[in-house]
Amino acid sequence: MKKILIFFFLFVKIVSAGELENLFKKGNEHYLKGEYQETIMVFASLAEKGYQGKSLYYNLGNAYFRIGKIGLAILYYEKAKKLFPSDDDITHNLKYANSKIVDKIETLPKFFIFDWWENLLALVSISGWTYAAYLFYIIILGSIGYYYFAKSLRIQRLAFYTGIISAFFLILTIILLAVNLNRELNYKYGIVVDSIIVVKFSPDQNSKDAFIVHEGLKVQAEDNVSDWIKIKLIDGKVGWLKKNSLRII
């Protein structure tokens, strides 16, 4: 496993620098001593308070992996990847953890264009695409200003073509942002955290068994009834399991 991250400034919520530094120092000391349960207690206390960040989720993922909780490790790696999709450390550890799960569900290979599109969507987070859209918008405004106030034809041409290219990327960025926002609002994914679960055909303990899933499997959460949640696998299978067996990313 790669080294743990200690970038305190990545937290979304603001706490005092001294408090945050002390908590991370304490958690990292436990981790280096092999005291992974204590590490989890420290970092989980921050997560329970509502703090979010790449380093927090990444460290929790590492600690859970060390004690053999593959499902919870994958859960927090996925949470970290949601914030920073292109981070190499997160991608590496998530891939390694996924290699340890029992369920290996095969799907038909994607057409290369769809595969390229999915990779493009996952290049940065929603906030990243938002910042990119603002950047291209500002460049367009600057290009318009240069075009109308430039005193030479060469500068006007440069401003014109810069504006056209920026407009293209702005439209593309807005499309990517809209697709990611739609997925965020309408599609929920979760990780199975129990070692083995019998999925039912309906939200009833006496219902017939549909199939079995194991710890660490990523599924789509489609609906919920009482303390049951409907899941869908990537191969199209659907069924119901208890909510406490699944953690939403």
**Which of 62, 61, 28, 52 has the alpha carbon at shortest distance from 42?**
28
Structural contact between residues 191 and 79, judged by C-beta atoms closer than 8 angstroms: no
Q: Name the residue with higher pLDDT: 235 or 77.
A: 77
Q: pLDDT-based confidence at 17, cuts 50/70/90?
A: low
What's the pLDDT score for residue 8? 41
Question: φ, ψ for residue 106 (rounded to 5)?
Answer: -90, 140
Residues 6 or more apart whose CB falls under 8 angstroms from that of 105 comprise: 217, 233, 234, 235
Predicted confidence (pLDDT) per residue in 103-130, tens digit: 888 765 666 677 787 788 878 888 888 9
Three-state SS at 15: coil
Name residue 179's beta-bridge partners.
none
Structural contact between residues 193 and 51, judged by C-beta atoms closer than 8 angstroms: no
Predicted confidence (pLDDT) per residue in 154-167, tens digit: 888 999 999 999 99
Query: How far apart are alpha carbons 65 and 94 in whole angstroms?
Result: 10
Average pLDDT over residues 58-86: 93
Report the chain's C-alpha Rg in angstroms: 23
pTM (two decimals): 0.73
**Which of 240, 198, 201 has the alpha carbon at shortest distance from 221?**
240
